[in-house]
Structure 1
Amino acid sequence: MKTNIISVVVVAIVLFFTTKITAQKDFQGKAYYQSKTTMDMNFGGRQMSEERKKEIAERMKSMLEKTYTLSFNKSESMYKEDEKLEAPGQGGGRGGRFSAMMGAANGPQYKNIKDSIFLQENELLGKNFLVNDKLTPLEWKMTGETKQIGQYTAFKATAMRAPSAISLAGPRGPRRANNDQASTDDKDKPEEPKMIEVTAWYTMQIPVNQGPGKYWGLPGLILEVHEGNTSILCTKIEINSDQIETIKKPSKGKKVTQAEYDKITKEKMEEMSERFRGGRRGGGRRN
Structure 2
Amino acid sequence: MKKIILLSTLLLFTVLSFSQNGKVFVMYKKDIINYYPINNSNPEKQKIMNTIQDGLKESSNSLRYNLIINNNESLFSLEENLAIETDEKSLKFIVGAGGASGDFYMNLKTKEAIRSVELSGEIFNIVSNLDSIKWQITNESKLIGNYKCYKALTTKVVENNVGIFKHPVEAWFVPEIPFGFGPVGFGGLPGLIIEIQYQNVRFYASTIELNTKKGTKIVKPAKGKEVTKDEYNEISKKKGRMIF
TMscore range, shorter length? 0.7 to 0.9
TM-score by length of 2: 0.75
Contact 1:29 1:244 (8 Å CA) reproduced = no
TM-score by length of 1: 0.65
Secondary structure of 2:170's counterpart equals strand
Correspondence for 2:189 among 213, 218, 227: 218
Pair 264,62 (structure 1): closer, same or farther in 2 beyond 3 Å: farther
Q: Do the aligned partners of 1:137 and 1:217 also contact (CA within 8 Å) in 2? A: no
Distance 1:270 1:81, change over 3 A: closer
What CA RMSD, in Å, does the superposition of the two structures yield over aligned residues?
A: 3.3
Structure showing greater Rg: 1
TM-aligned CA deviation for residue 59 of structure 1: 5.9
Runs of 5+ in structure 1 lacking a partner? Answer: 1-19, 175-192, 272-287
Contact 2:76-2:184 at 8 Å conserved across structures: yes
Where does residue 182 of structure 1 map in the other structure? none
* Offset at residue 134 of structure 1 (A): 2.8
Offset of residue 37 of structure 1: 2.8
Listed as ranges, the gaps of 5+ residues in structure 2 are 1-16
Confirm or deny: 8 A CA contact 2:26 2:208 kept in the other structure: yes
2:66 maps to 69
More helix by share: 1
Residues 216/52 of structure 1: CA separation in 2 closer, same or farther (3 Å cut): same
Q: Which residue of 2 aligns with 1:86?
A: 84
Q: Deviations 1:237-267 (Å, cap 9, x if unpaired)?
A: 0011211321111121122222222222233
CA distance in 2, matches of 1:61, 1:156: 25
C-alpha change, 1:67 and 1:266, in structure 2 (3 Å) is: farther
Alignment length (residue pairs): 220
Specify the alignment match of 2:159 in structure 1: 165
The 1:194–1:119 alpha-carbon spacing in structure 2 relative to 1, beyond 3 Å, is closer
**Identity %, equivalent residues:** 28
More strand by share: 2
CA shift, 1:49, in A, is 4.2
2:144 to 139, 149, 173: 149
Q: Name the aligned partner's letter for residue 165 of structure 1.
A: E
Q: Distance in 2 between matches of 1:82 and 1:249?
A: 17
Q: Provide Cα deviations, 1:95-149, integer angstroms capped at 9, x if missing partner.
A: 47978xx9x9933211001101122321112222222333343222222122111
Residue number among 25, 28, 48 corresponding to 1:30 in the alignment = 25
The code of the aligned residue for 2:196 comes to V
